[in-house]
């Protein structure tokens, strides 16, 4: 009953002009936070995910059935049955479950989440979705070499911004085992990987450098979706961007915003835009050696 009523209310709000939609939406959000701390949401692709309205990512999934819609469509467009998808920074499992439905029972999803308590939420969400039988979940950080990495909590209202960068000013919450991606993947997964998504809040450059060093071990058809935050280290991101371009990848910007207003207005994905130079601000990219 809640699911149908909730979908009806959100659908009605989205049909309103923006200003009244904002007002009604905030009132509805306040009511849900008052009535309960957690809800079982359904995504646009049919997965079920436990969501708390106090967390940014979970809040968007709860209300709109989607997180980062243009990124979602890029993942969906680039996966087919039998493919292998690698989710580096899986969080509560949204992209993992999306990819799971795309690659089907003959495909494979490797879902990697470093934060132990977030990994528990990921496992919980996998357990309630029958499609997740093709998922292998790994509780580890991905880096350029084996070792240990410290994890910092930056914002309790957004567990997705946990980071390995002390420079972001967070609170130390755990030290976890770290491995290169090519150590985590099995030989079969490595030989079949079609798409790697990397979103680890500033820790992407070492992962990408290692991947580039080992590029010959990956399929030539492999694509990469990555969130870049050049504000953390402009030189590192420029170097990685140039190395990817030198290895034959083209860069395509994916539209992405994080405000309620954008989700209220969003109706369909924007066309990917080819980029020749590294951005100076946060940007999601598709790197591919094919025509996207």
CATH code where residue 273 lies:
3.40.50.150
How far apart (Å, rounded) are the C-alpha atoms in residues 165 and 59? Answer: 25
Coil vs helix vs strand at 134: helix
Percent composition of the chain: helix, strand, coil (DSSP 3-state, to 5): 45, 25, 35
Q: Tell me the residue range of the domain where 246 lies.
A: 67-288
User: Is 218 domain-assigned?
Assistant: yes
User: Is 22 domain-assigned?
Assistant: no
- pTM reported for the whole predicted model: 0.95
User: Is 19 domain-assigned?
Assistant: no
How far apart (Å, rounded) are the C-alpha atoms in residues 48 and 127? Answer: 10
User: Along the 292 residues of the chain, how does pLDDT read in single tens digits?
Assistant: 788 899 999 999 999 999 999 999 999 999 999 988 899 999 999 999 999 999 999 999 999 999 999 999 999 999 999 999 999 999 999 999 999 999 999 999 999 999 999 999 999 999 999 988 999 999 999 999 999 999 999 988 889 989 988 899 889 999 999 999 999 999 999 999 999 999 999 899 999 999 999 999 999 999 999 999 999 999 999 999 999 999 999 999 999 998 889 999 999 999 999 999 999 999 999 999 987 7
Cβ pair 286, 252 in contact under 8 A: yes
Instruction: Report the b/e string of 5-37 with b at 16+ CB within 10 A.
Output: ebeebbeebbeeeeeebeeebeebeeebeeeee
Backbone angles phi, psi at 282, to 5 degrees: -55, 135
User: Is 48 domain-assigned?
Assistant: no
- What count of Cα atoms within 13 Å lies in the side-chain half-sphere of residue 108? 16
Task: Give the residue among 48, 43, 52 at the shortest CA–CA distance from 73.
Answer: 43
Distance of CA 7 to the CA centre of its chain: 24
User: Is 3 domain-assigned?
Assistant: no
Number of domains in the chain: 1
């Amino acid at each position: 009953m809640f699911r149908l009523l909730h979908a009806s209310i959100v659908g009605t709000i989205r049909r309103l002009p923006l200003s009244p939609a904002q007002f009604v939406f905030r009132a509805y959000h306040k009511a849900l936070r008052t009535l309960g701390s957690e809800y079982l949401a359904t995504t646009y692709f049919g997965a079920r995910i436990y969501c708390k309205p106090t967390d940014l990512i979970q809040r968007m999934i709860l209300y709109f059935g989607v997180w980062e819609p243009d990124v979602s469509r890029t993942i969906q467009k680039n996966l087919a049955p039998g493919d292998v998808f690698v989710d580096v920074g899986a969080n509560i499992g949204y992209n993992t479950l999306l990819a799971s439905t795309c690659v089907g029972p003959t495909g494979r999803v490797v879902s990697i989440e470093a934060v132990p308590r977030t990994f528990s939420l990921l496992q919980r969400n996998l357990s309630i979705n029958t499609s997740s039988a093709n998922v292998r979940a790994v509780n580890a950080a991905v880096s350029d070499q084996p070792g240990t990495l410290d994890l910092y909590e930056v914002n309790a209202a957004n567990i997705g911004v946990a980071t390995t960068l002390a420079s972001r000013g967070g609170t130390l919450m755990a030290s976890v085992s770290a491995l290169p991606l090519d150590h985590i993947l099995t030989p079969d997964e490595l030989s079949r990987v079609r798409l790697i998504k990397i979103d680890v809040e500033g820790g992407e450059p070492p992962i990408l450098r290692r991947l580039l060093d080992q590029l010959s071990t990956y399929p030539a058809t492999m694509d990469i979706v990555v969130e870049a935050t050049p504000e953390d280290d402009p030189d590192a991101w420029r170097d990685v961007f140039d190395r990817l371009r030198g290895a034959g990848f083209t860069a395509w910007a994916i539209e992405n915003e994080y405000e309620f207003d954008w989700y209220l207005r969003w109706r369909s994905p924007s066309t990917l835009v080819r980029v020749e130079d590294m951005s100076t601000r946060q940007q999601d990219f598709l790197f591919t050696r094919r025509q996207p």
